[in-house]
Structure 1
Amino acid sequence: MRRTLPLAALLLVPGLVLAALAASPPPPDEAPVELPEIGLVSYSGCDDLLDSLRAAATPLVDAYGTLSNGDGVHLDGSLVRRNGFFDMLAGGTAELQSDVAMSAPAPAADNAYSTTNVHVAGVDEPDEVKTDGTRVLLVAGGALRVLDARTGATTAEIDLPEGFERGTRLLLNGDTALVLGTTVDPRIAFDDFAGPYPGMYGSLHAVQVDLQMRKIVSELEVPGNLVDARQVGSTVRLVLGSVPRLDLPRPKKRDLRRWEEAEPRLLKHNRELVQNAPLAAFQPSYTVTGPEGSPVTHQVPCDRISHPAKADGVSMTTILAFDLTRPLGETSPATVVSGGGETVYGTADSLYVTETVGADVFYAEPAQLSRPESSEVASTRVHRFAFTGQEPRYTGSGEVPGLLLNQYSLSEHEGNLRVAVTDAMQEESSVHILSTQGTELKELGAIGGLGKDERIYSVRFIGDRGYVVTFRQVDPLYTLDLSDPAAPRALGELKITGFSAYLHPTADGRLLGIGQEADRQGRIQGFQASLFDVSGDSPTRLSQLHVKNVQTVVEHDAHGFLFLPETGLTVLPAFEKTLVLSVTSEKIALLGEITHPRKHEMVGRAVYLGGSVWTFSESGIKITDAATLQSKAWIRLPQR
């Protein structure tokens, strides 16, 4: 027997989330689309949890010893980029398509520095490079390295546990750094037919480092993978995904040679193992090692594990919140929900976690295991949590037809959540506005019909306006009026070749698009940046820059974007090089390129520090004068 879980008891959920203040109902002639009821229910106890999850997991196991979602999509623990069809382009010649002179922007103040490019101001996101203007932090050679922001000299190296390599993400609060790594059980063998899924065989390994003392002060280990994290002040909110930790055997070579004979036997054996799996295989846990050095494992109570009322899945999402000014062990107990977290969007006092339910259209993720038994139309489910201090409180859930692109497809404004999705079955996109009414996220209004036979490539919400780019052969940029949540409307559109994969406001009424140029048949022609005037109802393009045979990191990772609004300096890391632009209110100019010594290497990040641009690749850091683009130093990073 299951009972409805009290809202105040919840901490985490999977799915698409909306939160908002109640608003007046829409007029009768604009009735909102009916959304399915999505309630969270808890298990009555450990026996109920074990019986339910055994039953849900049994049909998902296969003869290979892995879990699938029923359509042959295995839990491989990785996300496939929706823009993943791009070939990696190298080299190229710049073609400037504006009449602006190629002069450097006015210099910024000597003490100016850039921080991680984030969606919401004041809500930090983990990234592989962090700086506070006086020091630069990154992981290289198995250690957390601290560099002097003035000279580039290494001032500290703090050794980290195994598994922490370049690309490991960080958060920073004063003299405390949080290093977010992943460890995989070394006993698991990688093979040609099935690799291990971190949710089953790996763990998030978070390490808290005191930069003054130059040592690790506490550690947190959670079986599963980090979906994402947000930081507000000194409070960190971790969203973690996992699947049951089932010890299932892999086929032996002799089984593979006689697969038709072996498959039924192996499948029967694996399902029997699942049906007899212990509670520990399903019950989430986390282990904290405090300053005293003794690890303590905490189990999430069974009556605090919940799931969507109409779906029984086996993947889980956990939210842990804690204060970085204290050791990691001082955290509220986590609450977990059966289901899978995919996209995380956070504000100062809210956290939204989404999941896809229904058909696999753009990509497959571990969260697909939590979807309903049958549904031809993919939809996005959202759950919202409000925070009072470190305590998450579940406030409601909703669902919209279609799939999200990324966190920029979500925006909370005046108590309502705006959600931009693409319905692959209808081959068009839409924006939905939802509000919390009781414990449900109800749709107040929606606008559809965007980009017929196309899909969303980028979204940006700014105040009462929304900007949506769709693409197949040409790129319509839509301007939406969202001032009336019950009656959103399209104001205008601009059709141009190519597309913008990332949109960034640069000034009042100006929007910078970063993406790819294309011909009239939709064939990719190389990097392009477009400056749009969005001050009126219909957008216009003021300036364009095209560089052949280049794809920037920004097109799939917004953390790679560097823009200084005071000067217009814009830095875009790419393969083997970094593009340096000047963006004013009227023009885009290519100032030059920064190259690294090693060939065939991606430059992943760029940071501005006191008149210099630091660019980061696997092999090292290049420091370049921002005004002249002359090289100042090359710092080789150790490899392990």
Structure 2
Amino acid sequence: MNIKILIGVITAIAVAGILGIYIALSPSNQPQTPYTIPPQIFDEPKIVSIDDTQQVRKFESYDELTKFLQSAQSLNNQYAIYESPVHGGIVRTGSQWNSGVQMELDSQLTPRPSLPPHDANAPSRADFPSYSTTNIQVQNVDEPDFLKNDDKYAYIVSGDKLTIIEAYPAESAKIILKIGLDIPQGQSLQNIFLNKDRLVVFYQDYKETEYIPEYGFTPTKIYASLSHAVIIDVTDKENPKILKDYSITGYYNNARMIGDSVYLITTNDVNYPRPIVPLIRESSGIMITPDVFYFDNPEQYYNFNTITAFGIFNETINAETFLMSGAGTIYVSESNIYITYQKNIPYNYYRTLEQDRFFNAIVPALPQDAQNKIKAVMADSTLTHQEKWNRVSDILQETYNKLSSSDRSSLFEKIQNAINDYDTKVQQDTFKTVVHKIAIDGTNLTYVAKAEVPGRLLNQFSMDESGNRFRIATTSEFWGTRNYMYNNVYVLDANLRQVGALEKIAPDESIYSTRFMNDRLYMVTFKRIDPFFVIDLSTDSPKVLGELKIPGYSNYLHPYDQNHVIGIGKETKENQHGGIETLGVKISLFDVTDVRRPVELDVVTIGKQGTDSEVLSDHKALLFDKEKGILSIPIWEQEHDYAPNRQYVEPKIWRGFYAFNVNTVDGFTLKGKITHFNSTGYDYYMGSRSFYIGDVLYTVSSNLMKMNDLSDMHEINQLKFRDEAKIIRYID
């Protein structure tokens, strides 16, 4: 049924009012006056599409951008009709605003200071040993972290301080420099990249600006968030120098480094009264105004999402801004950035959905003669909107009055089931993840495509790119009279068109971890046990090859080799009440050589209930190297106890690292436990990381770096980071 024919008819009366009519028409009651709809409901609504579209447009002026947002804001506050996702509809193209007006922003250009040239012929450091780097998802796509190291030095940011450590050799390890960056009070240096002798440091800032409202005279303050990307030359470890300080409007979302290029994603509110268009400034005062792109699809909440690409060793910088919902989970390959977020349906869509529900779920459940009468009324072009509804209301009352009490109850049950089925279908069509694809090549950015897939993402490991295919795993869940939950895998082509799908995996369970490895996907779902799935992705038609059901679950999956996977999560057991009790940290080694019958080669459980590890929520906390045979995992154990009089006592905390040797013959062999904190109360928390240089394992926590020999785990040295008595100088 064409929803445009239904203008002015609201099924809030039909859905919520049916039960009221039922009560009113029960044997002990007399028929009552039909419900009257407020006249303003019948104002001519605007028709907008919520369906997916590939169309991307660029704002040609600030005035065009402002009018677009004003229109979007009014739609969220007015009665509007949206094309039904259940029954389809025609996509309406975006309104054309006046163009040709330049952005109302200054664009003064001043000469930029040159970066020192990068010496490609610098002496080789082959004399230094091998070393580990940050645990990342995609090879050659580095991820930011608060600790970075090379074959000799370690760099750590905490608070407003940068600490540079000469870590190798371990026996003479020392802190070379602890220096501050002049950042706003209350803010912290967030993450860093290390590229040869250059650091890129990220932190958050806020800027107060003023503007005068239209036709006003008093300046109004606006507080804009800024993300800083600071390039620091650390060639001279004792005298690092700031080369560039880029500030980008918006909150830091995430970043990646590929080769000598950095990609920073920031998000900021649009500020509807007067949109604050993102800008990129340099410490020299220069300003870059990115092009702003938008889409036809209405959103409940708009944000500016800016991708800024800049070179570490050259002058190149570029940026583009996209008006859409706030960027959520991102995935980055060597060629593309994928920005995702949960689809947000405009508020008025749910209001007008009741109308569509009435005519497509409730009316078909009525007796045929009632359906015919309602259709005749709606087809009568001589009637006003309110006259139509008044007659429909009379038809409903007449229909119910003719039924016996039992028949009336049966009819309402039939209607309720139809409503449940309809609502489930609507949730399936609206509970989606939006995916945007932007191609990257150095600092060149090119928007490629947009798509939607059913369900929600768990994290960045729910996505993968292989050749010209993008694979994504989601969990779909619908809540109402009937609850549904299941999991899906979708395959999209280079233009994000769906070419394959596997749906309704593990009903009533949700995804706890995923890992794409070449032509396979390993997936863990959980409700009471841990099904470990092996899914084939060698074609565009995914299929389950095998599964293993074991107690517990894995929050993180890590490749060991082509046929073995490491899982890290929690052990569980069924308690005396029939529920599931979570225990200590569980490390598993899965053998998937026989894909139809995967097995758990070995399992280790660390600690009891209350034991945790950062790896469960942050993959960068894990160190694994197959050649070295080392797996280092940070562990946090807490033991609660009570005094004899049942008074609470401070918990005993152990914080440190478990180091294992891992192979497919012996499984996990504990090499040693490295203690960083062992006392009652709580210690200062910064995060935990492990890395190695040569044959030394370095473990780092809040105030301590320990160095242990990888062969027998004996302690070689240790450094404490904090020295409150020392005066910290600030970098120029």
TM range (shorter): 0.7 to 0.9
Instruction: Give the Cα–Cα distance (whole angstroms) in 1 for the partners of residues 223 and 477 of structure 2.
Output: 31
SS in 2 for 1:50: helix
2:592 maps to 534
SS in 2 for 1:554: helix
Question: Is 2:327 the partner of 1:341?
Answer: yes
Question: Is 2:515 the partner of 1:431?
Answer: no
SS in 1 for 2:286: strand
Contact kept in structure 2, 1:481 and 1:489, CA below 8 Å: yes
1:585 maps to 664
2:310 to 317, 322, 326: 322
Instruction: Give the Cα–Cα distance (whole angstroms) in 2 for the partners of residues 490 and 167 of structure 1.
Output: 44
TM-score normalised by length of structure 1: 0.72
* Partner amino acid, structure 2, of 1:528: K
1:121 to 123, 131, 139: 139
* Corresponding residue pairs, total: 497
User: What are the within-5 Å matches in structure 2 for residues 434-445 of structure 1?
Assistant: 434-437=492-495, 441-445=496-500
SS in 1 for 2:620: helix
Question: Is 2:542 the partner of 1:488?
Answer: yes
SS in 1 for 2:53: coil
Contact kept in structure 2, 1:457 and 1:501, CA below 8 Å: yes
SS in 2 for 1:112: coil
SS in 2 for 1:334: strand
Instruction: Give the Cα–Cα distance (whole angstroms) in 2 for the partners of residues 396 and 348 of structure 1.
Output: 17
Question: Is 2:506 the partner of 1:463?
Answer: no
1:474 maps to 529
TM-superposed CA distance for 1:621, in Å, is 1.8
1:453 to 481, 502, 508: 508
Deviations 1:123-159 (A, max 9, x none): 1110111011111111146332211121331223443
Instruction: Give the Cα–Cα distance (whole angstroms) in 2 for the partners of residues 131 and 60 of structure 1.
Output: 49
Question: Is 2:588 the partner of 1:572?
Answer: no
Instruction: Give the Cα–Cα distance (whole angstroms) in 2 for the partners of residues 141 and 384 of structure 1.
Output: 34
2:461 to 408, 419, 426: 408
Instruction: Give the Cα–Cα distance (whole angstroms) in 2 for the partners of residues 427 and 300 of structure 1.
Output: 41
Greater Rg by CA? 2
SS in 2 for 1:484: coil
Contact kept in structure 1, 2:76 and 2:348, CA below 8 Å: no
Contact kept in structure 2, 1:353 and 1:383, CA below 8 Å: yes
1:236 maps to 262
* Partner amino acid, structure 1, of 2:288: H
TM-superposed CA distance for 1:56, in Å, is 3.9
* Partner amino acid, structure 2, of 1:392: L
Deviations 1:259-307 (A, max 9, x none): xxxxxxxxxxxxxxx5xx33xx431112211xxxx32233334xx3323
Contact kept in structure 2, 1:122 and 1:348, CA below 8 Å: yes
Deviations 1:407-448 (A, max 9, x none): 1111111210110000022301010000134xxx21111111
1:282 maps to 276
TM-superposed CA distance for 1:111, in Å, is 1.6
1:596 maps to 676
User: What are the within-5 Å matches in structure 2 for residues 301-320 of structure 1?
Assistant: 301=291, 304-307=292-295, 309-311=297-299, 313-320=301-308
Question: Which structure features the higher share of helix residues?
Answer: 2
User: What are the within-5 Å matches in structure 2 for residues 196-207 of structure 1?
Assistant: 201-207=224-230
TM-superposed CA distance for 1:370, in Å, is 14
- In structure 2, do the counterparts of structure 1 residues 613 and 139 end up closer, same or farther at CA, with 3 Å as the change threshold? same
Identity in percent: 28
Question: Is 2:282 the partner of 1:227?
Answer: no
TM-superposed CA distance for 1:184, in Å, is 4.4
Instruction: Give the Cα–Cα distance (whole angstroms) in 2 for the partners of residues 481 and 515 of structure 1.
Output: 24
2:712 maps to 628
Question: Is 2:182 the partner of 1:161?
Answer: yes
Deviations 1:493-547 (A, max 9, x none): 1011110111111123100000000113432111000100011223111100011
Instruction: Give the Cα–Cα distance (whole angstroms) in 1 for the partners of residues 620 and 525 of structure 2.
Output: 22
SS in 1 for 2:68: helix
- In structure 2, do the counterparts of structure 1 residues 569 and 372 end up closer, same or farther at CA, with 3 Å as the change threshold? farther
User: What are the within-5 Å matches in structure 2 for residues 94-105 of structure 1?
Assistant: none
1:523 to 581, 588, 606: 581
* Partner amino acid, structure 1, of 2:198: T
Q: Which runs of 5+ in 1 are unaligned?
A: 1-34, 62-108, 188-198, 247-273, 360-367
1:560 maps to 621
Instruction: Give the Cα–Cα distance (whole angstroms) in 2 for the partners of residues 369 and 174 of structure 1.
Output: 50
Structure with bigger RCO (C-alpha 8 Å, 6+ apart): 1
Deviations 1:149-170 (A, max 9, x none): 2133122344312259777211
SS in 2 for 1:341: coil
1:216 maps to 242
TM-superposed CA distance for 1:209, in Å, is 0.2
Query: Alignment RMSD, CA only?
Result: 2.9
Q: Which runs of 5+ in 2 are unaligned?
A: 1-50, 78-126, 210-221, 354-425, 479-483, 637-654, 725-732
1:616 maps to 700
Instruction: Give the Cα–Cα distance (whole angstroms) in 2 for the partners of residues 370 and 571 of structure 1.
Output: 52
TM-superposed CA distance for 1:573, in Å, is 1.3
- In structure 2, do the counterparts of structure 1 residues 369 and 580 end up closer, same or farther at CA, with 3 Å as the change threshold? farther
Deviations 1:540-591 (A, max 9, x none): 1110001123211110000011001102210011321211112111311222
Instruction: Give the Cα–Cα distance (whole angstroms) in 1 for the partners of residues 431 and 319 of structure 2.
Output: 33
* Partner amino acid, structure 2, of 1:220: Y
2:442 to 389, 407, 412: 389
2:288 to 288, 295, 298: 298
TM-superposed CA distance for 1:358, in Å, is 4.3
Deviations 1:380-409 (A, max 9, x none): 111111123310111111110001111111
Question: Is 2:487 the partner of 1:501?
Answer: no
- In structure 2, do the counterparts of structure 1 residues 60 and 242 end up closer, same or farther at CA, with 3 Å as the change threshold? farther
TM-superposed CA distance for 1:480, in Å, is 0.6
2:197 maps to 175
* Partner amino acid, structure 1, of 2:557: L
SS in 1 for 2:136: coil
Question: Is 2:56 the partner of 1:40?
Answer: yes
Instruction: Give the Cα–Cα distance (whole angstroms) in 2 for the partners of residues 448 and 318 of structure 1.
Output: 33
Contact kept in structure 2, 1:226 and 1:240, CA below 8 Å: yes
SS in 2 for 1:383: strand
Contact kept in structure 1, 2:299 and 2:344, CA below 8 Å: no
2:30 maps to none
* Partner amino acid, structure 1, of 2:583: Q
Instruction: Give the Cα–Cα distance (whole angstroms) in 2 for the partners of residues 166 and 242 of structure 1.
Output: 19
TM-superposed CA distance for 1:629, in Å, is 2.4
Instruction: Give the Cα–Cα distance (whole angstroms) in 1 for the partners of residues 564 and 296 of structure 2.
Output: 41
Instruction: Give the Cα–Cα distance (whole angstroms) in 1 for the partners of residues 546 and 581 of structure 2.
Output: 25
SS in 1 for 2:182: coil
Instruction: Give the Cα–Cα distance (whole angstroms) in 1 for the partners of residues 294 and 285 of structure 2.
Output: 27
* Partner amino acid, structure 2, of 1:593: K
SS in 2 for 1:295: coil
TM-superposed CA distance for 1:461, in Å, is 0.9
Instruction: Give the Cα–Cα distance (whole angstroms) in 2 for the partners of residues 506 and 490 of structure 1.
Output: 21
TM-superposed CA distance for 1:182, in Å, is 1.5
TM-superposed CA distance for 1:469, in Å, is 0.4
Deviations 1:331-350 (A, max 9, x none): 12433333221111111111
2:374 maps to none
Contact kept in structure 2, 1:480 and 1:490, CA below 8 Å: yes
* Partner amino acid, structure 2, of 1:489: K
TM-superposed CA distance for 1:308, in Å, is 5.1
TM-superposed CA distance for 1:203, in Å, is 1.9
TM-superposed CA distance for 1:59, in Å, is 8.7
